[in-house]
Amino acid sequence: MREHAYLNDTVSLELAEEKCTGCGLCTLVCPHAVLRVEDGKARIDARERCMECGACAKNCAFDALKVEAGVGCASAIIYGWLTGKEASCDCGGGC
């Protein structure tokens, strides 16, 4: 799924590296390979691929990841694709 990209700099995904234990569960549940583990810590590898599903945050037992699932431009774009309606995230960014 590495070919998917949404909009740059619009994702609510946040990583608190100091809380991360490097277990790698976030990399297993992310459908778009947004995260990777390097040097014993999770890293955001491709923020623009995040669709804000929330799987990484819901599966992090250490509260190192935070994302507002179902919000933002990525959610609006996906909703538009699924419904055939014009995407609108009300952010003023033209989506």
Give, in order, the Cα–Cα distances in Å from 77 to each of 9, 30, 33. 15, 18, 19
Q: Is residue 5 part of a domain?
A: no
43 phi and psi, to 5 degrees? -135, 145
Q: Is residue 63 part of a domain?
A: yes
User: In which domain, by residue range, is 72 found?
Assistant: 14-83
Q: Is residue 7 part of a domain?
A: no
How far apart (Å, rounded) are the C-alpha atoms in residues 5 and 64? 23
Q: Is residue 61 part of a domain?
A: yes
Q: Is residue 59 part of a domain?
A: yes
Q: Is residue 95 part of a domain?
A: no
Tens digits of residue pLDDT in 60-89: 999 999 998 766 666 677 777 888 887 665
Q: What is the pLDDT of residue 3?
A: 55
Using the predicted structure, report yes or no on whether residue 2 has a pLDDT greater than 90. no
DSSP state of 66: E
Structural domain total, the chain: 1
Q: Is residue 65 part of a domain?
A: yes
Q: Is residue 4 part of a domain?
A: no
Q: Residue 63 is part of a domain; what is its CATH number?
A: 3.30.70.20
